[in-house]
Amino acid sequence: MTGPAGTGGLHGEYVGLGPLDEYPIHQLPRPVAWAGSSDRHFYDRSYFNCHDRTGDIFLISGIGFYPNLGTKDAFVLVRRGDTQTAVHLSDAADPRGGDRMEQRVVNYRVEVQEPLQQLRVVLEETEGVALDLTWRGLHPVIQELPHVMRQGSGTTLDAQRFAQVGSWEGRISIDGEEIAVSPDRWIGSRDRSWGIRPQGEAIPAGKPADPPFEGMWWLYVPIAFDDFAICLIMQETPDGYRTVNDCTRVWPDGRVEQLGWPRVEIRYGSGTRVPTGATIRCTTPEGKDVTFEVSSLLGVPIHVGGGYGGDSDWAHGTWKGPAFTERLTYDLNDPAVAGRVMFGVIDHVGRATVHGPGAGTPDGSEGWGLFEHGALGRHDPSGFADWFDLAK
């Protein structure tokens, strides 16, 4: 016997039934709230970034659901000058999946106003920080290639993602200071991803990796120009072997064009692993060269309060108790904080220009979005011999 009418069943094995099961969207013979994989690392997440093209401010935010961990969480990360502020929110996830129809974690919520085109991201005042931002896509979404990583016989990452570059409108409030956000200046990128990715509390490691993990090199560049958007994703092993190569251009009418096997030169600040820019040389299907010159105006290490890449302060999917919130503030000049930067991925306010016969727009046209890069550990093509080697 199920629970009372309207509860969707609250006892025994029927606890998974929820409002999503009223719709013909099932992919497996089980309730939608039950993940298709029993892997504890199954997740479903949104990521957003937002900036005004000046390099004065960069806001990054996200919300994630972890059904096999019974948790959900959200974060807001803001850098202005040398101060980086993080707001974290966490709570129990609804086992019937109702909170995935109303995407909310404590005071944070995402409203889908027009799928794949318009969203609203709201943080009601929490620890002195509040947001009310509306996102509109400037070009169609880009479906990325599946991303799979293995270690020995095990799968550490198996995910699907789509990306989009768009404009923002609304307001940001920090400690009583109101920042107006207008779509003529404010831009950013977003992605939606789901699948398997390490989350939550650490689990026993088992047999040590053989060979041991020596690092990875990662580049992610979604940029919008007036006439098109690009999304580049590259990942390489320490010897330079490319395990992910996905570079596409999307046009306003939805046409998607592959831009081949990009050749990339990253420029780093001397004595650091913080990139200042990159030259990305691509080729159209017709064999025409197209080059993107990308520069950083401001970088946010997303492993410092953002929950990514071994963040010591915040790990996605970790149980913090019901209705948890906290605010952390980082001084990026503090040696204890600055010393963490080269051990993770940095998201940058990205400015780009496009050149060459395959540009598809006037030569030298300007684009804006995200420049995300991390060179972790050894990477032979970059000249990094180990985890502590820095650019000359």
Residue 6 is predicted with a pLDDT of: 39
DSSP secondary structure letter of residue 305:
S
For residue 239 the two structure tokens come to 């010897």
CA distances from 369 to 164, 166, 229, 245 (A): 10, 8, 9, 19
15-22+30-198+303-342: CATH class: mainly beta
For residue 83 the two structure tokens come to 């101060």
14 pLDDT tier (thresholds 50, 70, 90): low
C-alpha 361: how far from chain center: 28
317: phi > 0 → left, psi -120 to 50 → alpha, else beta; which?
A: left
CA distances from 315 to 173, 312, 351 (A): 25, 7, 30
Taking the domains of the chain in order of start, what are their residue ranges?
15-22+30-198+303-342, 214-300+345-392
Residue 204 is predicted with a pLDDT of: 79
Mean pLDDT lowest among 202-216, 272-286, 302-316:
202-216
Task: Check the CA dihedral 254-141-188-114 and report its sign.
Answer: positive
214-300+345-392: CATH class: mainly beta
Residue 65 is predicted with a pLDDT of: 97
The Cα–Cα gap between 251 and 257 comes to 8
H helical segments located in the chain: 335-338
Residue 310 is predicted with a pLDDT of: 86
The Cα–Cα gap between 22 and 27 comes to 13
Residue 15 is predicted with a pLDDT of: 67
The Cα–Cα gap between 270 and 273 comes to 8
Q: Please write the tens of the pLDDT for every residue from 157-189.
A: 899 999 999 999 999 999 999 999 999 999 999
For residue 17 the two structure tokens come to 């039934």
Give SS3 for 99.
Answer: helix
Torsion, Cα 199 156 112 36, to 10 degrees, reads -100
User: Do 15-22+30-198+303-342 and 214-300+345-392 show the same overall fold?
Assistant: yes
Mean pLDDT lowest among 16-25, 88-97, 187-196, 226-235:
16-25
13 pLDDT tier (thresholds 50, 70, 90): low
